[in-house]
């Protein structure tokens, strides 16, 4: 039993999506693979399933309820702690391996509408600040602002518009327009209080060789994403500005069975 699942990047609309606005996320060509075989005891990468680093695997196992103990191996190309959804990729690949890709997942009481959109392959560079920031408190901070300040509520609505314009720009392969929209999305997110000087530094470093750049994911640290057709130049600029850089491509392949 084996399955793989991709890392992800949010190209437009983070935070606004929490208020029902659209967001655009893409799978990327960095994947996590999970292999599972019946065994005499539970082991993950030769260690105990109880280790805290395997809590996502344990949660996926609890959902899948396999018949007996398994030897699980994880091979992940998705760097962890870089805003690329490495934990989610491992979790989904584990569920894929154990479920044989069957079953459904419910998440809290909110209803999420997931649509597919065909985009051209995109060259993207992720710049990681190395500063960890938990998503929950940042989401709460934005909610607090939106509750108190009509301008913040208007900013959320604008991000929703930017997202739809961004989708249309990417669909017609207008990377110049898409890049400008990414830049605007970054400014609005920063005004909403989820920016960080190190994010601005990486965005500024990436822009001369990019169509546009913005923070990706929850912000407050974490990573930026730049849309570029000179990925190695952009990656070098990000490294020179003190960030870690990962060159990735958008990919349409989601969770998939291996073998």
Q: Residue 58 Cβ, how far from ligand PMV at the closest point, in Å?
A: 20
135 binds ligand PMV (CB under 6 A): yes
**41-51 as b/e: b if 16+ CB within 10 A:** ebbbeeeebee
Residues 200 and 181 sit within 8 Å (Cβ to Cβ):
no
Sign of the torsion formed by the C-alpha atoms of 98, 102, 108 and 110: positive
Nearer to ligand PMV, 65 or 111 (CB): 111
Integer Cα distance of 227 and 244 in angstroms: 16
Nearer to ligand PMV, 67 or 112 (CB): 112
218 binds ligand PMV (CB under 6 A): yes
Integer Cα distance of 186 and 18 in angstroms: 17
Nearer to ligand PMV, 9 or 70 (CB): 9
Q: Residue 15 Cβ, how far from ligand PMV at the closest point, in Å?
A: 5
Nearer to ligand PMV, 15 or 186 (CB): 15
Quickly count helices (H) and strands (E) in the chain: 7, 9
Q: Which of 6, 217, 220, 243 binds ligand PMV (CB under 6 A)?
A: 217
Q: Which of 2, 119, 131, 139 binds ligand PMV (CB under 6 A)?
A: 139
The alpha carbon torsion through 132, 133, 136, 140 (nearest 10 deg) reads 180
CA atoms within 13 A on the CB side of 179: 20
Integer Cα distance of 227 and 212 in angstroms: 6
Q: Which of 4, 5, 12, 14 binds ligand PMV (CB under 6 A)?
A: 14
Piece of 12-20, 103-111, 115-123, 240-248 that binds ligand PMV (CB under 6 A) = 12-20
Which has the closest alpha carbon to 119: 28, 209, 34?
28
Nearer to ligand PMV, 91 or 209 (CB): 91
Residues 254 and 25 sit within 8 Å (Cβ to Cβ):
no
Piece of 8-16, 111-119, 157-165, 203-211 that binds ligand PMV (CB under 6 A) = 8-16
Q: Which of 2, 18, 247, 258 binds ligand PMV (CB under 6 A)?
A: 18
Q: Residue 14 Cβ, how far from ligand PMV at the closest point, in Å?
A: 4
Q: What angle do CA 172, 177, 182 make, to 5 degrees?
A: 115
- Which residue in the shown chain puts its C-beta closest to ligand PMV? 217
* Alpha-helical regions (H) of 110-149: 135-148
131 binds ligand PMV (CB under 6 A): no
Q: Give contact residues for ligand PMV (rule: CB under 6 A).
A: 10, 14-15, 17-18, 83, 135, 139, 217-218
């Amino acid at each position: 039993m084996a399955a793989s699942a991709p890392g992800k990047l949010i190209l437009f609309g983070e935070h606004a999506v929490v208020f029902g606005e659209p967001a655009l996320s893409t799978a990327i060509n960095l994947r996590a693979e999970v292999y599972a075989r019946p065994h005499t005891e539970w082991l993950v990468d030769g260690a105990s399933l109880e280790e805290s680093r395997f809590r996502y695997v344990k949660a996926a196992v609890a959902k899948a309820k396999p018949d007996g103990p398994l030897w699980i191996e994880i091979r992940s190309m998705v760097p962890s702690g870089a805003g690329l959804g490495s934990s989610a990729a491992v979790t989904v690949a584990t569920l894929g391996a154990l479920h044989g890709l069957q079953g459904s997942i419910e998440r809290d009481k909110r209803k999420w509408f997931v649509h597919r959109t065909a985009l051209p392959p995109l060259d993207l560079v992720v710049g990681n600040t190395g500063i960890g920031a938990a998503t929950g408190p940042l989401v709460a901070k934005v909610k607090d602002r939106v509750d108190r300040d009509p301008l913040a509520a208007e900013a959320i609505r604008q991000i929703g518009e930017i997202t739809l314009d961004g989708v249309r720009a990417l669909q017609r392969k207008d990377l110049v327009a898409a890049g400008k929209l990414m830049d605007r999305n970054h400014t609005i997110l920063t005004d909403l209080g989820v920016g960080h000087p190190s994010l601005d530094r990486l965005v500024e470093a990436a822009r001369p060789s990019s169509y546009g750049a913005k923070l990706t994911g929850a912000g407050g640290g974490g990573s930026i994403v730049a849309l570029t057709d000179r990925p190695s130049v952009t990656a070098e600029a990000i490294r020179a500005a003190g960030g870690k850089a990962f060159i990735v491509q958008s990919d349409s392949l989601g969770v998939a069975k291996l073998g």
